[in-house]
A and B are shown apart, each in its own frame.
Chain A
Amino acid sequence: MAALVVESLVKSFGGVRAVKGTSFTVDRGELLALIGPNGAGKTTTFNMVGGQLHPDSGSVKLEGRELVGLTPRAIWRMGVGRTFQITATYPSMTVAENVQMVLLSHHKRLLGWWTPAARQFRAEALELLARVGMAVQADRPSSVLAYGDLKRLELAMALANEPRLLLMDEPTAGMAPRERVELMALTADLVRERGIAVLFTEHDMDVVFAHAHRIVVMNRGEIIADGTPDAVRNDPHVQEVYLGSGAMFHGEPQGKAVVS
């Protein structure tokens, strides 16, 4: 069943038509990768789903409910978690407090003036951190974390409101190769366990072809392919677009089974 239905999204910046009528769906329990060369309109599409940008026209429906026109915080309350391309966490708080912050917001306890925040929802926060393998670091300041660990912390934060849709903008950017595989394997596990729908953009084709259940390819604001990894890999149009930019070979000296 489709958790997210995106229909004919259009967005222009000045005279540039960044996204020209994008439509796709994401099913429950599905990992959908949105890929394409730089400037294809991936992040713009992404931000329109998350509410950071308002589309000129088109619709985004989460389980039948319209998201267009809502603020990011309203969209989050409807069950959309999000991680950012450059991690956005709270450096003045500990790792556990970062997650507790999300839980406090989820349970609408932000205006409390009395009970110390550090004592609220700590058990739940530790559980989420354990799930992403960060429990040992729960009491470290998040400002001293390695980048890969920050990404995992962000994932724990994104899971805290039990989202039905998870938006991950380049989840593995800036990580070491082994960390990438681990993070995506972890994400895939979570998707299976909880039946979350995941929409992610990514430049690392290893990550995309190893973990995505389905791939949507964008170029110049339009979708040029939508299908299983195998179908997309063998699509001549996709090969042409990527051969032109060379992006397909990124991080893949052997180009194993990608275009050959």
Chain B
Amino acid sequence: MGFYVTQFMSGLAQAATLFLVASGLSIIFGVTRIVNFAHGSFYMLGAYMAYTVSDVVGGFAGFWGGIVAAALAAGVIGVVMEMVLLRRLYRSPELFQLLATFGVVLVIQDLALTIWGPEDLLGPRAPGLEGRVRILGQAFPQYDVFLIVLGPVVLALLLLLFKWTRWGTLVRAATQDREMTGALGVNERRLFTSVLFVGCALAGLGGALQVPREAVNLQMDVSMVVEAFVVVVVGGMGSLMGAFLAALLIGQLQAFGILIFPQITLVLVFLVMAVVLVVRPYGLLGKPPAAARGAAHAPEAPLRPAGLPAKLFGVAVLAVLLLLPVVAGQYALVVLTETLVLVLFAASLHFMMGPGGMVSFGHAAYFGLGAYAAGLLTKHMDGGMLAGLVTAPVLGGLGALLFGWFCVRLSGVYLAMLTLAFAQIVWSVAFQWTAVTGGDNGILGVWPAPWASAKWVYYYLTLAVVTGAVLMLRRAIFAPFGYAMRAGRDSPLRSEAIGMDVRRLQWLAFTAAGAMAGLAGGLYAYAKGSVFPTFLSVPASVDALVMVLMGGVQTIAGPLVGAAVFHGLETEVVRYTDFWRLILGGIIILLVLAFPKGIAGAADAWFGSGRSAEGRA
């Protein structure tokens, strides 16, 4: 009995940290509508900075002072991020800020590595709270009791802040209706800056408080940002009380899940999130978001068939790609093959994201399913490459058919989070079902058929498949199906009123995108000769998202350009420097600032190819 009570209490302590980080994320999203992917990085920075202050100053003052200083410093860094970066992007297409904050994640990762080194840092025990209390015969850390008390205290302080101060009223007003708040003469800039300060400071505080509980490490950022997203989405975007409840729920799931299913704690968390979102699409205490008034950025211009110059350019690119094997070496061919595969992967994500208006944070799930289809076929059934390349889109499509049914019931960030949840579930299965998937060791020896084993042959095979698939997707975008997708995205109200089943259309689009991603995954498996769980991990999904956003989500050529640029950059930068994250992140940030509409979007605007002059007005 005592054991379960202490387990319950450590769940509560974990919930306190989760709540601190998640509440900051929730406040930032509520007011600025920015999905701050770098939120976990502020959490990590908080932990590192608190560790350093405590290490340098030492003792009681060093530890507790370090926590306060770390929180404030995280807030200040948040302010800098807002003023230098985000402020320039409020009028950019939705989710462009997400790309920018992802650049920040990369930069902070490398900075932290440079400053604090790759080793895990073990912090001190909290001075004054080193001891343990006995609960029903079980020892329980005093510090965790402190955290359990701190959670509700911070909640109460935040609620009071929101209820009784002018600033809090403004934050609540902006969360409900940003445009109207601005129209009433509220200085939005100052409000946004201050919100970023508070939100990031809360993340930093959460990280700093974690120092006595776990070693400070470089993986804290991504793992925490995913958990914090889950908490915010389960609780309901913009609802503090919801975030608190969700944090309690997730904390307990983690505490007890580890006893019952130590292997699949993560899956358990994501399953609960999926169930909550299907039953309550806006989270436990969330409300449907107020419809944005669309004035924030220019509407997408109507589609125009490619003009002659654009067609000639396309043919020229294809000709170059066909001639490349003559001059390219083996290594270059491998990189080119991979790039082509990623072009298809990005194009499939763009298909559901651009015309379909469904953002996926977990598109790698279908890519990975395709890759595993090829891998499992080779490993367990001695299937050949052609069978693998046929099975890959089928498995990817089936996965998307199943998960899509749930996802299309939601929209916006909620939909995106549910895709992430499903991707995490697939990842866990691939990672932990060792008997079938080989777990972390993956599946090796997934080689192309003998006739295609030469690098240049496989390159041509990939080129043919990818070109065909991308042209098919493009064709679909111009066909009634693509128009119907855009119609459902532009105005669900009108679409229902003209007899369209928007949800079914979205489901079909989701499935088609999944099948195409699966095909890309199959091609990738044979190109690499192996399949690993990393193929369907969160970073792989984020890569796809970055490629699409980098190219420009409003243009059809965007994902092609984005994939080529991103993979090219990644490959080159990794070759020449250890600071590839810093440089890649920096490049992403610069690109975002220079081309707020994406690279292909900017080219369109300059050359006016395929767009009417009026459309840009």
Contacts and interface: CB of A to CB of B under 8 A. Distances in A.
Interface of A: 50, 71-74, 76-77, 82, 84, 88-94, 97, 100-102, 104-106, 109-118, 120, 139-141, 143-144, 157, 160-161
Nearest to B482: A117
Contacts of A110: 480-481, 484, 500, 505
Contacts of B472: 113
A114 B490 CA distance: 22
Given A73-B497, A90-B490, A113 B481 contact: yes
B617 interface: yes
Contact of A88 (B479, B482, B494): B494
B493 A88 contact: yes
A93 B476 CA distance: 16
Interface residues of B, number: 35
B479 A101 contact: no
Given A92-B299, A117-B483, 7 more contacts: A90-B494, A91-B490, A101-B484, A104-B480, A105-B500, A113-B481, A117-B482
Chain B CB within 10 Å, residue with most, of A76, A91, A115 = A91
Which 4 A-B residue pairings sit nearest by Cβ, starting from the closest? A88-B494, A112-B480, A92-B300, A143-B299
B305 interface: yes
A227 to B, nearest CB: 30
B479 A113 contact: yes
Contact of B480 (A73, A88, A109): A109
A244 B490 CA distance: 41
B496 interface: yes
Interface string B466-498: 000000100110111111101100110110111
A113 B475 contact: yes
B504 to A, nearest CB: 10
A74 B501 CA distance: 10
26 contacts: A72-B496, A73-B497, A73-B498, A73-B500, A74-B499, A88-B494, A89-B494, A90-B486, A90-B490, A93-B302, A97-B483, A101-B484, A104-B480, A109-B480, A110-B481, A112-B479, A114-B475, A114-B479, A116-B305, A117-B479, A117-B483, A118-B478, A120-B480, A141-B299, A160-B498, A161-B498
Contact of B478 (A72, A91, A116): A116
Chain A CB within 10 Å, residue with most, of B300, B483, B498, B617 = B498
A157 B498 CA distance: 9
B180 to A, nearest CB: 16
A115 B614 contact: no
Do most interface residues of chain B lie in helix, strand or loop, or is the interface mixed? helix
Given A104-B483, A111-B481, A140-B614, A89 B491 contact: yes
B508 interface: yes
Contacts of A97: 302, 483
A112 B501 contact: no
B385 to A, nearest CB: 27
Nearest to A157: B498
B152 interface: no
Contacts of B615: 141, 143-144
A94 to B, nearest CB: 5
Contacts of A101: 483-484, 487, 498
Given A76-B497, A88-B491, A115 B483 contact: no
Contacts of A71: 496
Contact of A144 (B483, B487, B493, B614): B614
A88 B494 CA distance: 6
Contacts of B499: 73-74, 76-77, 105-106, 161
Contacts of A120: 480
Contacts of A144: 614-615, 617
B465 interface: no
Contacts of A92: 299-303, 486, 490
A93 B479 contact: no
A82 B497 CA distance: 7
B612 interface: yes
A141 B496 contact: no
Nearest to A103: B498
B497 A115 contact: no
Contact of A50 (B478, B491, B494, B497): B497
A170 B114 CA distance: 64
Interface string B303-317: 101000000000000
Contacts of A139: 612
B484 A104 contact: yes
Nearest to B617: A144
Contacts of A100: 483
A102 B498 contact: yes
Chain A CB within 10 Å, residue with most, of B303, B482, B493, B494 = B494
A84 B480 contact: no
Contacts of B305: 116, 118
Contacts of B475: 113-114
Contacts of A112: 479-481
Chain B CB within 10 Å, residue with most, of A50, A92, A109 = A92
Nearest to A144: B614
A160 B500 CA distance: 14
Contacts of A76: 497-499
Nearest to A107: B480
Contacts of B476: 113
A141 B302 contact: yes
A88 B500 CA distance: 14
B479 A115 contact: yes
B484 A93 contact: no
B478 A117 contact: yes
Contacts of B505: 110
